[in-house]
């Protein structure tokens, strides 16, 4: 009797196992992206039950072949998906590199939350050698994203980005312009270092001004680009000159209202101190 029961229950377990695995085989494919620097290796695995859904997103970091971190990452929705070094055109790579010059590579796990534009964010992991574990911060990039570039040739990469608070601020998404934003990762924190790069701010400002003139000729009001231009000018310490240019350029009937809103926005975003 007990032998029979045992046989039945084993068969049921076997059946359940079989059907569970065939369901998995039919509906999900496991995929992974990885990255490596020296003895540090990172891998993100995930299942794709449907085209735009991602499940069981896990990050593993190993050092000299030993797993130090193995975690399921929280997803706000099933559309949150890991992306590799997307802007560099290497979708299958996780950036693993020394961001702060302490000879220890950090791991950057980038995610996209789905939707038409929004949003990308980075989880940046650094190794705490005393605690022998990885600690993370999360940095939001909004609609934009970033590009890792050594902008000052000191051997450490900067995060070359933009101030995404300007998306939709004065216009549609397509007609939004953005002030330059540059970040460095130091002592486990992201530091906004944009003002240390006046040449790059000036060239971003020149680009915005050029685009403003181009889209104005196409009949757009160009408010989004003027706003970003003025923010760049403030970062350069040329706020007053910027205002003169903007006031000369923008002659539409809502100009008083626009200038009031713009001043308020630049205060709120910290450009006007
Ligand atoms: Ca480091
Ligand atoms: Ca640098």
Q: What is the mean pLDDT of residues 64-70?
A: 97
pLDDT digits (tens, 9 = 90+) for 6-19: 433 344 444 444 44
Say how many C-beta atoms besides its own lie within 10 A of residue 201's C-beta. 23
pLDDT digits (tens, 9 = 90+) for 174-215: 899 999 999 999 999 999 999 999 999 999 999 999 999 999
Ligand nearest to the CA of 197: 2
pLDDT of res. 218: 92
Q: What percent of the chain has pLDDT over 70?
A: 85
141 CA from centroid of ligand 2 (Å):
19
User: d(Cα 101, Cα 138) in Å, to the nearest integer?
Assistant: 20
* Element housing 215 (H / E): helix 198-217
Walk me through the domains of the chain, giving residue ranges and CATH numbers.
27-145 (2.40.128.460), 165-182+194-273 (no CATH)
pLDDT digits (tens, 9 = 90+) for 86-110: 555 556 689 999 999 999 999 999 9
Q: Is the pLDDT of residue 253 over 90?
A: yes
Residues forming beta bridges with residue 55, ordered by sequence position: 47
106 CA from centroid of ligand 1 (Å):
5
pLDDT of res. 85: 58
155 CA from centroid of ligand 2 (Å):
6
Task: Please list, in sequence order, all residues whose beta carbon lies within 8 angstroms of the beta carbon of residue 28, skipping any fewer than 6 positions away.
Answer: 47, 48, 49, 55
Ligand nearest to the CA of 185: 1
120 CA from centroid of ligand 1 (Å):
22
Mean pLDDT of the chain, nearest integer:
88
pLDDT digits (tens, 9 = 90+) for 104-134: 999 999 998 876 667 899 999 999 999 999 9
206 CA from centroid of ligand 2 (Å):
23
């Amino acid at each position: 009797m007990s032998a029979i029961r045992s046989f039945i229950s084993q068969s049921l377990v076997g059946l359940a196992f079989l059907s569970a695995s065939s369901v998995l085989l039919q509906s999900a494919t496991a995929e992974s992206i990885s990255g490596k620097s020296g003895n540090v290796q990172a891998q993100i695995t995930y299942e794709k039950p449907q085209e735009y859904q991602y499940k069981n997103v896990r990050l593993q970091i190993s050092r000299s072949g030993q797993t130090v971190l193995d975690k399921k990452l929280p997803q706000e929705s099933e559309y949150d998906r890991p992306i590799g070094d997307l802007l560099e055109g290497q979708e299958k790579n996780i950036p693993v590199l020394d961001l702060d010059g302490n000879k220890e590579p950090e791991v950057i796990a980038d995610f996209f939350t789905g939707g038409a534009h929004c949003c990308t964010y980075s989880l940046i992991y650094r190794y705490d050698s005393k605690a022998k574990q990885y600690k993370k911060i999360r940095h939001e990039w909004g609609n934009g994203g970033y590009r890792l570039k050594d902008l000052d040739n000191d051997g450490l990469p900067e995060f070359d980005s933009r101030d995404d608070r300007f998306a939709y601020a004065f216009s549609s998404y397509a007609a939004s312009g953005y002030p330059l934003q540059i970040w460095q990762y130091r002592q486990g924190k992201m530091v906004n270092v944009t003002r240390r790069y006046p040449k790059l701010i000036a060239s971003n400002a020149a680009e915005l001004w050029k685009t403003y003139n181009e889209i104005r000729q196409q009949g757009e009001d160009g408010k989004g680009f003027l706003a970003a231009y003025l923010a760049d000018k403030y970062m350069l310490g040329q706020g007053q000159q910027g205002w003169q240019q903007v006031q000369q350029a923008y002659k539409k009937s809502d100009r008083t209202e626009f200038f009031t809103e713009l001043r308020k926005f630049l205060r709120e975003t910290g450009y006007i101190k």
